[in-house]
Structure 1
């Protein structure tokens, strides 16, 4: 099996088993975003505020999220976001998920253009081997 961190980030990917341990071996910083309690844009922004350990001054909008994710002062050059319970969130809130994915993928592209890496790893509590 190809190790996910041997390859450049490629969009939203299914998290490997034990992603935190694997990431540590590759010296990749990891932050978790818990989508289990997200039910609207406000709670989505709160999940990122908490997961990324941001200050309360975080703007809580798409532009502010993009700015944080593309700020080299804010994030390690090799960084993984573990999106916990993401598939269930995406099924419950497809419109919100589409907007979020655009921001995440744009930030990932920006990182790549600046010789940085941003992995976006969806992790599910009950692992589905068929992915999503």
Structure 2
């Protein structure tokens, strides 16, 4: 895929959402998003052992306000607002999520649901909102099965 195609895709709010991508594409996606002046938030879940750790890492990467409640409802509210970090679009790169997903299936599904709902809300405002979850190729193939 060319850089122009990637820019076109990322700039289109109608296709926003939470997607699994190949880990080898993460840097190109982040660079392309930065080229569009999107806010790019990188969240590293390596070594993350629980939901509290997840919330802490998301809040730090997103620069969430100090009064962030660190629960699913607060995360949903924060992702749908982002008033403290205005940008023409948003890209969340949630890296090293494979082990966290394996250990926390239900919470992982809740996170994906919240990310997709936020993307849907932002699309109504004509703003691109992407949550990209880079997985190694073998784990990516397993997700498709």
Q: Which TM-score bucket, shorter chain as reference?
A: 0.7 to 0.9
What CA deviation, in whole Å up to 9, does each residue of 1:76-118 have, x standing for no partner?
2301000011222212211110111111111111011111111
Contact 2:39 2:89 in 1 (8 A): yes
How many residue pairs align between the two structures?
Answer: 130
Instruction: Output aligned runs, 1:89-108, within 5 Å.
Output: 89-108=100-119
SS in 2 for 1:27: coil
Partner of 2:8: 6
Structure 1 runs of 4+ with >3 Å offset: 2-5
TM-score with structure 1 length normalisation? 0.84
User: How many Å separate the matches in 2 of 1:115 and 1:72?
Assistant: 15
Q: CA deviation at 1:73?
A: 1.3
Contact 1:82 1:121 in 2 (8 A): yes
Partner of 1:117: 128
Alpha-carbon RMSD across the aligned residues, in angstroms, is 2.1
Structure 1: which 5+ residue stretches go unaligned? none
User: How many Å separate the matches in 2 of 1:68 and 1:99?
Assistant: 15
- Aligned CA distance change for structure 1 residues 37 and 24 (closer, same or farther; 3 Å): same
**Which structure features the higher share of helix residues?**
2
